[in-house]
């Protein structure tokens, strides 16, 4: 599942992963992500850090607090050069990795394959 409030990023990441044979579902907000997770259980969640309403980190903390989703694999997608505070939060919520925007298409695919 790819979660990002920017439609062009959702489309781009979906097309890149779809072209490699991955089944991709999308959500455009943290709240939409949590609603979708009530019905879908993706193998990997690629979650934008900065979104209006509910940040990706806040959504991940909610996911980790739920026994049904706590073990979900989460990778963050961010434009922010992660500072120590952000990295500490990512470690605390057991993020597998983070990918900085703009990303290299081949690197994105390689990281997803490695994590699955």
Calculate mean pLDDT across residues 67-94.
Answer: 76
Domains and CATH numbers, the chain: 2-115 (3.40.50.2300)
Those residues whose C-beta lies under 8 Å from the C-beta of residue 23, and which sit 6 or more positions away, are none
**Burial of residue 106 (number of CB atoms within 10 Å: 0-12, 13-18, 19+):** exposed
DSSP symbol at 23: -
Could you report the per-residue pLDDT of 48-59, keeping only the tens digit for each?
988 999 999 999
Question: Does pTM top 0.85 for this prediction?
Answer: yes
Positive or negative: CA dihedral 90, 113, 46, 68: negative
User: What pLDDT score does 100 carry?
Assistant: 80
Helix axes 7-19, 105-115, angle to 10 degrees: 70
Q: 65-74, 75-84, 85-94: which has the highest mean pLDDT? A: 65-74
Q: What percent of the chain has pLDDT over 90?
A: 71
Per DSSP bridges, beta strands 45-48 and 97-100 are unpaired
């Amino acid at each position: 599942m790819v979660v990002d409030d920017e439609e062009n990023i959702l489309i781009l990441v979906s097309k890149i992963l779809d072209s490699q044979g991955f089944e991709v579902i999308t959500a455009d907000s943290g709240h939409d992500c949590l609603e979708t997770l009530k019905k879908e259980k993706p193998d990997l969640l690629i979650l934008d850090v900065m979104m209006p309403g509910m940040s990706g980190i806040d959504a991940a903390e909610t996911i980790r607090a739920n026994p049904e989703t706590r073990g979900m694999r989460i990778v963050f997608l961010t434009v922010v050069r992660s500072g120590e505070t952000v990295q500490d939060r990512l470690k605390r919520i057991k993020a597998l990795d983070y990918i900085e925007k703009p990303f290299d298409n081949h690197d994105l695919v390689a990281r997803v394959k490695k994590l699955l």
